[in-house]
Structure 1
Amino acid sequence: MDLESFLGTARRLLAVPSTADRPDELHRALDLVLDFAGGPGFTVERFESNGKPSALVYAGARRPHFRIILNAHLDVVPAPAHQFRPRLAGTRLYARGAHDMKVSALAQAQVFRELAGGLPYPIALQLVTDEEVGGRDGTLYQLEQGVSGDFVIIGEQSGLRVVTDSKGMVTANLRATGRSAHSAYQWLGDNALLKLQRSLDNTLARYPVATEEAWRTTVNVARIETPNQARNQVPALAEAWLDIRFPARDPDLDGRTAEEITAHLASFCEPGVTPVVDHVDPPHHADRNRPEVRGLQRAAGNQGYREGFLRKHGAADGRFYYQRGIDAVIFGIGGDGQHGPDEYADITTIVPYHRALREFLENPGAG
């Protein structure tokens, strides 16, 4: 691997502000990686759902059932303009998306380009642009269009450790209704914001804000809003956004339907506050004894990295495969600061990651 040349391409990719609200930039990031991954005899299938483009690349003219799929997302969360000007400081490549997960995506694309045409079994490179906003128009949409495989490697950051478990996710809103009145005559009104606040306090008493890493259910209050426009008016409406992450075997959430989770959330709500569940995605789990999992661990260990397992608190597109009985793991480069002001990729992990992927793909059942 020519690391200097690779980093040049990585910088061009990291300079693309491929956020959900910029469809042209999503296409630009996708096209850049497709050009990088292209080779003679490769087929590129393009997909689009709700304005989010994605692609599937494989050798040959017809799509087979794949033994292995390399999955990567090219979208990023919003950031100030300076984070889309990549900078190298020592062994750290700073930029939005460097850690999550454009550098791993590009490394997957390079390995695919090098090996896909010569392996004795079919593999695919799956590139999506909507993972940060739910993944339903990328990975899930492709699965609904008949894409299938036996084993999936998602290139999310992991420091070359294998992630076999990640939390499930519930997105929900709490909607409060009250009665408007002049604020000087509070007894004539019913403040929706205060009812919402008490409901949130009840919810967070059950699920306290985590102050250190803990493998338990967490609730993030992402937004509180009201259409009220006057300081001297009692608000009649208010709403809060909740992002809930839960591990397997949580008795209140795991395996529950949206209706059952709605009823659970309602138990924390004041009269006049109604929970509305938007999406429920299950936790993700892969069989740690599967030969491919052991083979991937062995390949990372041969590069000097620990062979233990990791658990991810965030959800990833592996949950869509898990729902279909397909084992998926997360395996990516090192770094830190994803979604933050100092996000960076550790460039010392790029070459070992490339080597480990190659070794694994050349003998996926080793271990």
Structure 2
Amino acid sequence: MVEYAVSEALLRLLAVRSTADRPGDLLGALELVLGVVGPGFTVERFESGGKPSALVYAGRQRPHFRVLFNGHLDVVPGSGEQFRPRRAGPLLYGRGTHDMKAAALILAEVFRDTARDLPFPLGLQLVTDEEVGGYDGTAHQVEQGVKADFVVIGEQSGLRVVAESKGIAQVRLVADGVAAHAAYPWLGRNALVVLHAGVAAVLGRYPAPEAEEWRTTVNLARIETGNRAVNQVPADATAWLDVRFPPSDRSFAGRPADEIAAYLSGLTGLEVVVDSLGAPHSADPSSADVARLQASAAAAGFSGALLRKHGAADGRFYSARGIDAVIFGPGGAGQHGPDEHLDLRTLEPYRAALIDFLRRVAS
């Protein structure tokens, strides 16, 4: 039986409960990975919204990076058991195994082992807020002037190259009604019924696909009303929606929040509040760097095929500024779920592909 090595540093990193509500553990995860990188590099530290991040490079002055590695060290909440990683053959289970502590650690190790010898500037960007939007990590650093020609984000991809991912809009539909005694409903207007009609209009326009499909999707996440009495007509109701949209959907892509709110209000007849908005991400799939990365994945024994991702990622902060960013990570499954796991058979090929890619860029 083949044994696949798991480093002590990875096991320690996976044990850190680096969720958004635990600032000490966010910093602890960051310090652990910076410790793996070791001395001899410049470490720029950033902090925004209580979320720490770092930028690491060789030399004293921050360059315009030819290639920038990006990894996030925060995770979504999980059970206590998920922070005690366990192995089952070639699979390593635990929170953050697949999304994306293992990949971040490999990016840090490859940076450590190559950055000083490359004929171009390589950077390592470590952030701790990707799971809650990325605005205080990657976006904050970009606003502080971090620039690159090409960004490799270590999110999970099975050594395929993600050149396109969806944008995200999180919105509220707000319905007003008139309270009345439940025995006399004609004297009132039921806000929940009004809201239901509006939600139905949205889901009718964007029905849930029965299988994977590259189009806009809407998830009805929550409905609330201030009414707590069964014998009363509700006077207010709110629905929370999570909208994921590709760059081709011009009702969302490229639109500011007020235009999206107006569009959904016209569709539903309700007041609409856009709580957060993230643009889709796209990189030129025919660029030389994408081709190099695909070739490096193939040299490591994987297809390197292009892949689209339905989830939003930090690459959108770069593509918004005309910088190509791709997702390229190891294999596994179950991110954000109870059975999240990393396929250990992909770790060393992932490392080899990254090193080969840097060599191809250098030549």
Class of the TM-score when normalised by the shorter of the 2 chains: over 0.9
* 3-state DSSP of counterpart to 1:263: helix
**Secondary structure at the residue paired with 1:361?**
helix
- The number of residues matched between the two structures is 361
Range with greater deviation from structure 2 (171-180 or 144-153): 171-180
How far did 1:23 drift? 1.2
Q: Distance in 1 between matches of 2:282 and 2:358?
A: 21
Q: How does 1:286-325 map to 2 (within 5 A)?
A: 286-325=283-322
Instruction: Structure 2: give runs of 5+ residues left out of the alignment.
Output: none
Counterpart-to-counterpart distance in 2, 1:138 and 1:304: 33
> Shift of residue 184 of structure 1?
2.7
Aligned to 1:33: 33
| Residue 192 (structure 1) shift | 1.5
Please say if 1:130 is aligned against 2:134. no
2:16 corresponding residue in structure 1 = 16
CA contact (8 A) 1:291 1:364 kept: no
After TM superposition, list the pairs within 5 Å mapping 1:218-367 onto structure 2: 218-270=217-269, 273-364=270-361
- Asked if the contact 1:296–1:364 (Cα under 8 Å) also holds between the matched residues in 2, the reply is no
Task: Name the TM-score, length of structure 1 as normaliser.
Answer: 0.95
1:186 offset after TM fit, Å?
A: 2.1
Report the secondary structure of 2:290's partner residue: helix
Contact 2:4 2:345 in 1 (8 A): no
SS in 1 for 2:99: helix
Worse-matched range after superposition: 101-110 or 188-197: 188-197
Q: 1:3 to 1:69 in 2, by over 3 A?
A: farther
**How much has 1:365 moved relative to structure 2?**
6.3
- CA deviations on 1:137-187 (whole Å, 9 max, x unpaired) are 110000111111111000000000111111111121111121222323322
Shift of 1:17: 1.3
CA RMSD of aligned residues (A): 1.5
Q: Following TM superposition, by how much is the alpha carbon of 1:255 offset from its aligned partner in structure 2, in angstroms?
A: 2.1
Paired amino acid for 2:336? H
Q: Encode CA deviations 1:16-60: one digit per residue, 9 max, x unaligned.
A: 1111111111111111111112232x0111111111111111111
Question: SS at 2:255's partner residue?
Answer: coil
Q: Which residue number corresponds to residue 180 of structure 2?
A: 181
1:84 aligns with 2:83: yes
Query: What stretches of structure 1 of length at least 5 have no aligned partner?
Result: none
2:14 is matched by which residue type in structure 1?
Answer: L
Task: Tell me which amino acid in the other structure corresponds to 1:362.
Answer: R
Counterpart-to-counterpart distance in 1, 2:187 and 2:128: 50
Q: Where does residue 144 of structure 2 map in the other structure?
A: 145
2:75 & 2:210 partners in 1: Cα distance?
26
In structure 1, how many angstroms separate the alpha carbons of the residues matched to 2:238 and 2:183? Answer: 23
Query: In 2, Cα distance between the equivalents of 1:210 and 1:16?
Result: 36
Alpha-carbon distance between aligned partners in 2 of 1:332 and 1:222, rounded to the nearest angstrom? 29
Q: What amino acid is aligned across from residue 125 of structure 1 in structure 2?
A: L
Superposition TM-score, scaled by structure 2 size: 0.96
Identity of aligned residues (%): 58
Deviation at 1:357, TM superposition (A): 0.5
Alignment correspondent of 2:98: 99
* Secondary structure of residue in 2 paired with 1:229: coil
Q: Deviations over 1:272-294 (max 9, x none)?
A: x3111123322211112221111
Cα shift readout 1:83-136 (whole Å, capped 9, x = no counterpart): 111101101000111111111111101101111111111111101111111111
Once the two structures are overlaid, the 10-residue window that deviates more, 323-332 or 112-121, is 112-121
SS at the partner of 1:104?
helix
Do the aligned partners of 1:295 and 1:365 also contact (CA within 8 Å) in 2? no
The answer to whether the 8 Å contact 1:297/1:307 transfers is yes
For residue 188 of structure 1, report the CA deviation from its aligned partner: 2.5
> What is the aligned partner in structure 2 of residue 46 from structure 1?
45
State the AA in 2 paired with 1:17: R
Deviation at 1:71, TM superposition (A): 0.3
Does structure 1 conserve the Cα–Cα contact (< 8 Å) formed by 2:67 and 2:152?
yes
Instruction: Give me the whole-angstrom Cα distance separating, in 1, the residues matched to 2:185 and 2:318.
Output: 53
